[in-house]
Structure 1
Amino acid sequence: MFEGLLEGIGMETAAKETEDAVLFQSFWDIPTSLKCPVVGLGVSDEEGRRILKKCGRRIKALAPWEVHRDIMEEVGSASAVARRVDALLKRKFADAIAKVKSLPEEELLPLLKAAIARGDAAEALYCVAMRKALSVDTLVSVVGEAHMMGHTTAIDLFEARKKELKSVAKVKDLTESLEAERRERRRLGRELQGMADEVRELRLALEKRAEEPVAVVQAPVVPEVHPAYGDELKREKAKRKERERERDTLAREARKHEREMRKLKIRTRELENENKALADEVMSLAIGRPVPSLSSMPCEGRGCSTCPEMETCSRRVLMVGGLSRMEPHYRRVAEAKGLGFEYHDGTMSGGRKCLEKQVTRCDMVVCPVTCNSHNACRSVKKLCSKHNKEIRFLPTSSISALTGVLLDMPA
Structure 2
Amino acid sequence: MRIQTGAGLHGTRLSPLPLRMIEPQLDLASQGRARRTRIWELSNHLHCSIVGTCLSTAELRQVVAKTGPAADGSSEHDLHHRGVTLAGQRDGAAKLLHKALDRKHRAAIARFDKAGTVDEVRTEWREAVKRGDIPGGYWAAMTHPAASDALVREVFGEVHMLSHLVGAANRADIRKLAELEAENDRLRAKLARQQDQLRDGLTRRDARIQELNDLLARRIGEEAAAGQPDDASERAALEGLVASLEQRLRSEGNRRIAVEERLARRTEELAREREQHAASRHQEAVLREELEAIEPDIASQAAEGEASPASLAGLSLLYVGGRTDRLGHLRTLSEQRGVTFLHHDGGVDDRSGLLAGLVSRADVVMFPVDCVSHEAVTIVKRLCRQTAKRYVPLRSSGTSSYVAALARSAGERTDRHQASI
Task: Using structure 2 for the length normalisation, give the TM-score.
Answer: 0.47
Name which structure has the greater RCO, CA cutoff 8 Å, separation 6+.
Answer: 2
Q: Which has more radius of gyration?
A: 1
